[in-house]
Amino acid sequence: MSLTPNREATVVVALIADNSGGMPDTLEAVEAQVYAPSRVVVVGDTPVGSVEKVDSLNTLIENLDISIAYVWVVREGSIPASDALSALMSDAGRIGAGVIGSKILGTDRHSLVSIGLVTDVFDVPYTGLEGDERDQGQYDVVREVAAVSGVSMLIRRDLVLGLGGIDDTMTPTAAAIDLGQRARLRGAVVAITPASQVVYSTDHRDQPRWRAEASRIRTMIKSYGALTLAWVLPLDFLTGFVEALVSIFFGRWYLFDWARSWFWNLLKLPETISLRRHARGQRVGADSDLFRFQRRGSVKLSAMAAGSMAAMRRRLPGDDRVSLEAIGRDVRQPAFAVGVLAIMFVLLSARNLWSDGLPAIGYTLPFPTNGWDVLQAYAGGWNPAGLGSTEPLRPLVAVAGLAKIVTLHAATLGEYALSAGALLLGIWGMTRLLRTWSVAATPALLAGIVYVAGPTAQGIAGNTHLGSLLALGVLPWALRVALAPMRENFFGVARRLAAAILIFGFLGALSPLMLLLPVPLIGFYAVVRFTDAPAWKGLIVALVGTAGGFLLLSPWIWSVGLLGIAREGYAFWNVSPIIAVAAAVVAGAAVVSADKTAGLVAGWAASITGVGLLLSRAGSFGWGTETESVALAMSGLGLGVLVGVVASTVTSPDAIRWRRLVSGIGSVGVVVLLVASTVIVLGGRVGLPGDSVRSDLAFTLAEEGAAERSRVLMVGPAALLPGDSRVIKNGAYRVVSAPVPDLGEARLEPFLEFDERLEFKLDLITSGETRRAGGELAEFGIKWIVVVGDSSSAEGDEQSVAWRDVFAGQLDLLPLNAATTNAVFVSDVRPVGRALTSGGDSWPRIGWTYEGEAAPGRRAFVAENPNERWGPPPRFTTEFSNEISAEQGLATFDSDDSRRTQATLVAAAIVVLLAGVVVGRRRT
Amino acid sequence: MRRAVLFVLAALAGFAGIVQIAAPPPPAPEFESSHTGESDAAAANATVWYCPWVEAGDVLDTTVVVASVSDATVDMTLLDPLTNTEPTEFSFDLMGPGATGINTGNLLRRGESPAVIEFSNGPASAISMQIADGLVSADRCVVSIPKKWFLTGGSTKTGTFTEIRLFNPFADNAEVSITAHSEFDLDLSPDLNSIDVAGRAWTTIDLEPFFPFRDELVFEIVAQQGLVIPVLVRTDEHGEAMWTGTSASETWEFPVVAPGGLEPSLAIMSAGDDAISITIDIITEMGTTVAAREVVVDSTAPVLVPLGDLAAAPFGARVSASAPVVATVVATVPDEAPSGGEGELPGDATTTTSESTDTTNTTTAVEEVFLRGLAGTVGSSRTATSWIVPLDTIAGSETTLWMMNGGVDDATITILPLGESEFLIEDSIQVPAGTIVGLAVDVGVGTFGYEVQSDIPITVAWEIVGNSGVALVSGIASE
């Protein structure tokens, strides 16, 4: 032992034993110090021969003799250089540091681990080092830092005693930062000296993540002034939440860490406040002194952004991870340029949705204003379409509600995020799908653009089937999750099946019919590639995904017939001859010019393109418009694959002579399809038509508060009416909310009593048996009648003119001629309201419920289809509508318990499946 | 090989898709509310009737007569000439079967004020009759409102005036074009190409400034926007008559055409683009003269066919055309007949006037024939077995209900008088095939109409003849 000091010994070494291993080496290195410490004490449970041992660092410091000036804290597993302590002592004395740390190197003795820490304002540590940055002396300067690494630091004994010791509830790094900040508040210098070098393995793990987070929050509470805390803590709360959400997409699950860290601090708050008083009681510095050693912005958010970019980059085919060198190489690649162009294409194609939200036309309607209302309605509540019903809403509406909630009910953000996201996801998904067949990034991106924006996607958008349009973003992922290589251990299979069920469920939620698509596509693919085992495995995954996906559509799925949906309307996609020829050229070129495997894939893609085209025009066989949209998605998928194959072949060095010639001809077709795809940029609405319903009904806002109290009867050509419509004597009509119907109103459910009564009244009106349409329609809360289409003259639209003639011949309707493009009539009857009290007051519709002034002793008549669940009681369900108590000024609807339970189970299943995916990812 | 099979499959599917056909266009709506199935714009199964020519002032009164087979609440709305002014509304219960007359002068007296009559139950019907000293005119109200109307029987020859009233009972503004046809064929006036009629208002157009000195005028009125109900008022020195517009039909029946010794004529025009042939059968109390007159009508020029020389009054007429035509019977004082002073009965052949001679300076009493009155009516475009006929009686005038059986079988007709009294007695009469039968209506017993039921299809009309003038009114089918 050479522990005998060769000069006056004033240092005690505290060896922090954390069971990470390497204590003997550490002890040996400490013993070899040229500046011999007076004592060596092990702090912790690890027994080390005859070396003195204490339970905690604070106990050691409190019991030290007054002659001891410094405590050198050294972590188990570290190997200090022989002059490490000497350098620490020397520089501490020279600059008067209260806390001074060593330069920490990796076990290779070249890579840098720590050269002192700065933090952001949230006390998240930041080393400023790149991943494998080598020590070339670039940081070799004694300087002040926010904190030093807890691996090796020298602390002045009197200072640490005055500070109240080390906070041993914290993780080492957080404790080091905490110590540094408290020391700085007392005016002490916290510094790093590169002359003192310690080797430490970075494989040593810190304590659990939540504990580190909790310690960090505690550090802030202890150190910062009240003003700083007032904004730092809420911001940190939100940042953590966002990080928890975003991390899901990278296969990490931080939500519980986030919640647990804040809960821990809540429990520890009284103790923390006490420590805060001590820390700030005799301070000589201010928060600004702490800020001097903090970097701008949020380390977490920066890391998240960098992580996102890196993860995205990893998912693009054939490239290395991001680094400065790799980036430099990437930007010179066509794939990078095309990828940037694809993102710009998406941003431009969706630009108007950012400001205006979704257009209101056909089946594309704005998302409901309150997401919670939607979820309640989906889970067994009241369906607001038409005159209302108890039929479950389509899952797409629930997705819209969730989007509203996630975007904190921002006006248009949810709509923009879903629409633009679907576009981006579709392009990305196509690149991933084509990666299955080794198609490179650039052709795959071109294929993705044709897939999400090409003629078939425009056909879907033209049908205004928003769900199918959004589902385009998910469909390639559904195929990819089935066909991608799979780790064949338990966790690999479980994770894949969980992911498949989730993706298929999401696909079905957006477009129920499209859920039926992957199985036949993959089945057909397996037949084509008959000897390809992954294809058959993919079929099994697709079958499981489809079955599971259907279950995730509960409770809606149990109340509908998919065949009925598939046969509603008349499927006929009006394809341009130029597009048809271009597609045929691409298909022919792909099948003929591609090599063996790609050729088979092209044959498969050409077949599904052809069959999709046939189905999209199969109205004469009884198939409807939703089938048309799904068939267009199928056709578009095939066309996208064909474009990818042709673009890949034409750029392949293996394609020579006639193959190059044929693929060259095919690339002309690709160019035509690409040019056709760019058309959607003009509208800036992801291909959807311009708004019509919102402008048609804008006049209802002229009178403040009137729109929310009444309904609008819209009549005219069915194609111009929002969502589903009904027909009487060949004339189409439908009832909508003002000022604009939301997505929940797009789909009408089967006739109920009130609907039949409305039809009876319309029969009276259209047959001329009454000339007081205003009075007849008042009981339905209909105040306005809008005749859409050209009804200005006999040469106008036949439907519009006929309807206008009907309502022009009524005695209690007034025309609204100002500023309306359509013929509009307003009822001359008073009062008209969707929810009317017996006193004649109407209640406005707020969200999806009716709220108004309480009317004690009165009744309220809710103009919805009669149902005994309407309340509050005493209820009296009339033959045609609902009569309830007006005592509370609120109309409520008790949800269906069975459906609510189903919806809750679905939500739980989604969480479990997500967890399965995350856990499976970690295990595999 | 697999590639080839797949490519062929794709090509076949694509070809099959390309040859698919688009959806047929949606069928046109079949609404009956505005485009009437009745060419004569009247059927008793509707609930709302529009009476454009209602006026109550210091000279003229209007009686609106309503009749209903069932108990009904009748709402009468008299519009105000000032826009944005609440109309005058009057509601009463009518026990069915029954009828009553409402003198609008008792409700308000502000001149012109078209009325809207709403029945809560039916079948029901309504007419309006204008009465003044020395004047009576009447016609059915209108129940169905086509976009295109024809008004026949107008004239602006010397001493004759024609007005059109365009009544828009609805709130929506109407834009109307009027095209005139005269003996000069198509008679254009740019000022009448676009006439705005505000909602719940009316406008009256004197046509003499636009078409002076026309013997025959037929008007084609098209509502470019909104709806209007047109009515034609013809006036001469002998009286006033009014009738509503109609659509076109291939057949028209007029159970009575020659009231009070007036000279009847048939104003007729083809509604199409081709010249057509028209056959007129004359039906008297004795029998039918088939094809009593046959004429060829040009597509754009109206024709006035005299009927007075075909039979002695009373008689009816049946018009059959090879294509749809519009037709109105107009009965005027014959040109050769001396016109009479006030208070003289039509057909009165014993009126005395004085004539002076220069040579003797003596006054000699000379007996001359003076006639007064002007009548006109649209016909019935179809026969029916059930009719509701609101009518009115005036002291000093004779009201006669006429039934015409143009068929080949005798008709057994049940006639139920309608009034405010419950004690009116049902009667039954026989109308031989091919004849007309008139039923004089008792004055002063509270009869305001008839419900006429027949075992075979017939047509019904009524006339009023007296010292106030003459009016012809078609009946209203209720089936």
Reported as a single tens digit per residue, the pLDDT across B167-179 is 998 887 888 999 9
The whole-number pLDDT of residue B312 equals 87
Average pLDDT over residues A138-160: 88
Helix A625-650 × helix A596-616 angle, to 10°:
150
Confidence of residue A6 (pLDDT cuts 50, 70, 90): very low
pLDDT of residue B340: 47
The residue of A581, A595, A771 whose CB has the most chain B CBs within 10 angstroms, and thus the best one to mutate to test that interface, is: A771
pLDDT in tens, A468-480: 999 999 999 999 9
Going by C-beta distance under 8 Å and a sequence separation of 6 or more, which residues neighbour residue B336?
A: none
Q: Greater confidence, A375 or A492?
A: A375
Mean pLDDT of B390-403: 90
Which residues does chain B have within 8 Å of residue A531's beta carbon, measured at their own beta carbons? Answer: none
Give the pLDDT mean for B219-225.
88
Residue A713: name the closest of A770, A776, A771 by CA.
Answer: A776
The answer to whether the Cβ–Cβ distance between A767 and B32 falls below 8 Å is: yes
Q: Do B169 and A572 touch (CB under 8 A)?
A: no
A297: left (phi over 0), alpha (psi -120 to 50) or beta: left
Asked if A609 lies within 8 A of B14 by C-beta distance, the reply is: yes
Nearest partner of A646 among A629, A631, A665, judged by Cα: A665
Task: State the Rg of chain A over Cα.
Answer: 35
Q: Does residue A122 sit in helix, strand or coil?
A: coil
CB environment A370-386: b (16+ within 10 A), e (fewer):
bbebbbbbbbbbbbbbb
pLDDT at B226: 80
Alpha-carbon Rg for chain B, nearest whole angstrom, is: 26
Q: What is the DSSP letter of A480?
A: H
Residue A313 pLDDT: 61
Shortest Cα distance, chain A CAs vs residue B2, angstroms: 7
Chain A nearest CA to B16, separation (Å): 6
The whole-model pTM stands at 0.69
Beta bridge partners of A877: A882
Name the residue in chain A with its Cα closest to that of B32. Answer: A767
Mapping DSSP onto H, E and C, the string for A17-69 reads CCCCCCHHHHHHHHHCCCCCCCEEEEECCCCCCCCEEECCHHHHHHCCCCCCC
A359 Cα to chain B: minimum distance (Å): 26
- DSSP-based three-state secondary structure for A321: coil
Q: Do the Cβ atoms of A712 and A737 come closer than 8 Å?
A: yes
From A606, A617, A730, residue closest to B6, measured CB to CB: A606
- CA distance linking residue B36 with residue B20, whole number of Å: 39
Q: Which of A245-254, A407-416, A681-690, B302-311 has the lowest mean pLDDT?
A: A245-254
Segment A711-732 mean pLDDT: 94
Largest CA distance in chain A: 118
**ipTM above threshold 0.90:** no
Closest Cα of chain A to B228: distance in Å?
9
Q: Is the pLDDT of residue B34 over 80?
A: no
Best of B116, B170, B229 to disrupt the A interface (most A CBs within 10 Å) is B170
Q: Does the pLDDT value for residue B359 go beyond 50?
A: no
Which among B18, B33, B47 has CB closest to A809?
B33
Distance from CA of B125 to the nearest CA of A (A): 13
Least confident span in A67-81, A300-314, B129-143, B170-184: A300-314
Q: How far is A408 from chain B (nearest CA, A)?
A: 44
**Least confidently predicted of A300-309, A317-326, A887-896:** A317-326
Q: Within 10 Å of residue B200's Cβ, how many Cβ atoms? A: 23
Mean pLDDT of chain A, nearest integer: 87
Question: Between A533-552 and A490-510, two packed helices, what is the crossing angle to 10 degrees?
Answer: 50
Q: What is the pLDDT of residue B128?
A: 93
Residue A354, chain B, CB below 8 Å: the answer is no
- Which is nearest to A216 in space by CA: A236, A200, A202? A236
A568 to chain B, any CB pair closer than 8 A? The answer is no
> Which residues on chain A are in Cβ contact (under 8 Å) with B21?
572, 620
Q: For residues A397 and A411, give the distance between their C-alpha atoms in angstroms, rounded to a whole number.
A: 16
Instruction: Give contacts of A603 with chain B, Cβ < 8 Å.
Output: 2-3, 5-7, 10
A760 Cβ contact partners less than 8 Å away, ≥ 6 residues apart: none
B46–A805 CB contact, under 8 Å:
no
A803 has a chain B CB within 8 A of its CB = yes
Q: Nearest 10 degrees: CA dihedral of A183, A184, A189, A190?
A: 80
CB contact under 8 A, A768 and B16: no
Residue B118 pLDDT exceeds 70: yes
Task: Give the DSSP H or E segment for B196.
Answer: strand B195-197
At residue B36 the predicted structure's pLDDT band, cuts being 50, 70 and 90, is very low
The pLDDT, as a whole number, for residue A254 is: 82
Return the closest-CA partner of residue A794 out of B70, B186, B253, B176.
B176
Residue A287 host element (H or E): helix A287-291
Would you state the pLDDT for residue B346? 46
Q: What is the pLDDT of residues A672-690, one digit of tens each?
A: 999 999 999 999 999 999 9
Chain A interface disruption, residue of B7, B33, B145, most A CBs within 10 A: B33
Please indicate whether, in this complex, the C-beta atoms of B18 and A613 are within 8 angstroms of each other. Answer: yes
Using a CB-CB cut-off of 8 Å, the residues of chain A touching B147 are 794, 805
Give the A:B interface size as CB pairs under 8 Å.
172
pLDDT tens track for B51-88: 998 888 888 899 999 999 888 899 999 988 776 677 88
Chain B residue nearest residue A813, CA to CA? B171
- Who wins on pLDDT, A396 or A306? A396
Q: Tell me the nearest-neighbour CA distance from A331 into chain B, angstroms.
A: 37
The per-residue pLDDT for range A436-481, each reduced to its tens digit, is: 888 888 888 889 999 999 999 999 999 999 999 999 999 999 999 9
Taking every pair of C-alpha atoms in chain B, what is the biggest distance, in angstroms?
130
Cβ distance A620 to B20 less than 8 Å, yes or no, reads yes
Q: How confident is the model at residue B336 (pLDDT cuts 50, 70, 90)?
A: low
Q: Percent of chain A beyond pLDDT 90?
A: 48
Determine the average pLDDT of the residues in A692-698: 90
Across residues A744-769, what is the average pLDDT? 91
- Out of B11, B29, B48, the one facing A729 most closely (by C-beta) is B29
For B141-188, write each residue's pLDDT tens digit: 988 788 889 999 999 998 899 999 999 988 878 889 999 998 888 888
Closest chain B residue to the Cα of A577, Cα to Cα? B18
CA distances from A658 to A379, A592, A605, A655, A690 (A): 60, 10, 22, 8, 46
Q: Do A766 and B31 touch (CB under 8 A)?
A: yes
